[in-house]
Amino acid sequence: MRPYILTETNWDALRNENFELAILPWGATEAHNFHLPYSTDNIQADLIAAESARLAWDKGAKVIVLPTIPFGVNTGQRDIYLDININPSTQFAILSDIIEVLNHQKIYKLLIFNSHGGNDFKAIVRELGLKYPKMFICVSNWYQALDRMEYFDNSGDHAEEMETSLLLYLRPDLVLPIDKWGEGKEKKNKIKAFSEGWVWTERKWTQISEDTGIGNPKLATIDKGARYFHDVTIKISKLLCDLCEADIENMHE
Ligand SMILES: [Zn+2]
C-alpha cells in the first residue's frame, strides 16, 4: 500500500492525514499507431505520476495522487474506431466537482498532470480559479518537461519514438512486435502558416496519418525509455516538492 496513491490507501491512514498537494493525472483512450495500446497515455500518466510522487514523498512532501481520468478530448479522431472523446465542457464539469471537494477539505493545491496533447486545461483553470479563489491550480504536460531530442533521435508527438520507448520500458507485454510498427508519417497542412505555428486548427486525424501515429517509432528501445523515465520523474518530483513548500499567497519574487 503506497500512502500517496489514493486508490491504494484507506480510511485508517487518511482520517488523520493532511495532504498539501493533490495530483490529478489525466489521459485519453485512443489509437496509438498500430502497435501501442489504447491506454498508452493513461499508463504513462499513472506510472510517471506515481514514481514522481514516491520520490517526493520520500523527501517529506505531502502529496496524494488521485485516480487517473482515462478519457480525454479526442474531437479530431471521431472516425477512429473506439477513440473515446469527452468534450472540454465535460472536463470543466469533472474538474469543477473535484475542486469543490478539495477546496471544502482544505487541500488548496492541485496539479493537473496531463498526458494527452488534445487536453487543454488553461481556459478551464482560469475560469475555475475565479470560482475557487483559495485554490492554487496548475497544469503540467510531463512530455514537455525535458528536451526530448536529448533522449530520442526522431521527433513526433503521438505513438512516436518517445512513447514507444516508454511503453517498451513500462509495459512491454502490451507492445506489438516491431514488424507491426507503422512509420507514423504526418501529412502537413498545405498552407505553410500552420507549420510555422502561428495559426492553429485542429488536426483531423484520418487526414494526417495512415497509421494514427505522428513520428517514426523505429529507433525506440527499452534503454531510451528507462533513461527518460528516470530523468523525467526526478524533474517532476522536484516540482512536487516545490509546490508543497510554496506559500500560495506569496509565489513571486
Ligand atoms: Zn499518447
Tens digits of residue pLDDT in 16-27:
999 999 999 999
The rounded Å distance from CA 218 to ligand 1 centre is 16
Residues 6+ apart with CB under 8 A from 88: 73, 120, 123, 124
Per residue in 187-239, pLDDT (tens digit) is: 999 999 999 999 999 999 999 999 999 999 999 999 999 999 999 999 999 99
Mean pLDDT, to the nearest integer, of 128-140? 98
Per residue in 155-186, pLDDT (tens digit) is: 999 999 999 999 999 999 999 999 999 999 99
CA distances from 32 to 28, 55, 79, 83 (A): 11, 29, 14, 10
The rounded Å distance from CA 163 to ligand 1 centre is 7
The rounded Å distance from CA 164 to ligand 1 centre is 9
The rounded Å distance from CA 14 to ligand 1 centre is 33
At 65 the pLDDT is 98
At 235 the pLDDT is 98
The rounded Å distance from CA 19 to ligand 1 centre is 30
Confidence of residue 60 (pLDDT cuts 50, 70, 90): very high
The rounded Å distance from CA 156 to ligand 1 centre is 11
Write out the three cell numbers for 3. Answer: 500512502
In which region does residue 99 sit, left (phi positive, over 0), alpha (psi from -120 to 50) or beta (all else)?
alpha
Specify the amino acid at residue 125. Answer: V
The rounded Å distance from CA 22 to ligand 1 centre is 23
At 2 the pLDDT is 97
The rounded Å distance from CA 84 to ligand 1 centre is 14
The rounded Å distance from CA 158 to ligand 1 centre is 5
Number of C-beta neighbours around residue 26 at 10 A = 26
167 touches 173 (CB < 8 A): no
The rounded Å distance from CA 40 to ligand 1 centre is 6
At 34 the pLDDT is 97
Neighbours of ion ligand 1 (CB under 5 A): 40-41
At 126 the pLDDT is 98
